[in-house]
Amino acid sequence: MQIAAVVLSLLLAVAMLGSGVMKLLGTKQMIENMRVVHVSVPQMRVLGVLEVLATIGLVIGLWVPGIGIAAAIGAVVYFAGAVVVHVRAHEKNLQPAAVLLVLAVATLVVLLLAL
């Protein structure tokens, strides 16, 4: 179970880091994606910071399990919110958020089982 916890934590961390950095850099594609779901550029930057912080928490969680679990809980809440925002905006491209939500839930479950 420990290997699965490490693999899932790192996979989620890499995905969140990529997404967070794109939000912080304000890439054209990310600005357009956020505009469609009614998220302003300042709000997008806050979301980017949250994703980078969750990435840090997941990596630290490899040595301090409580921090990794907290970061995974945050990721579940974050991506559940992302799915809700996409649905409320009637935006059809919610697959990335849904996939990351599933990954975050799987990571959390495996981290809890690995205790």
Q: How far is CA 29 from CA 4, 34, 66, 68, 85, in A?
A: 32, 9, 35, 30, 18
pLDDT of 62 above 90? yes
Residue 43 has pLDDT above 80, yes or no: yes
Whether the pLDDT of residue 76 is over 90: the answer is yes
Where are the chain's structural domains?
2-113
Report the first-to-last Cα separation within the chain, whole angstroms. Answer: 9
Return mean pLDDT, the chain: 96
The pTM is what? 0.94
Q: Is the pLDDT of residue 1 over 80?
A: no
CA distance 13 to 31: 22
Tell me the mean pLDDT in the region 52-64: 98
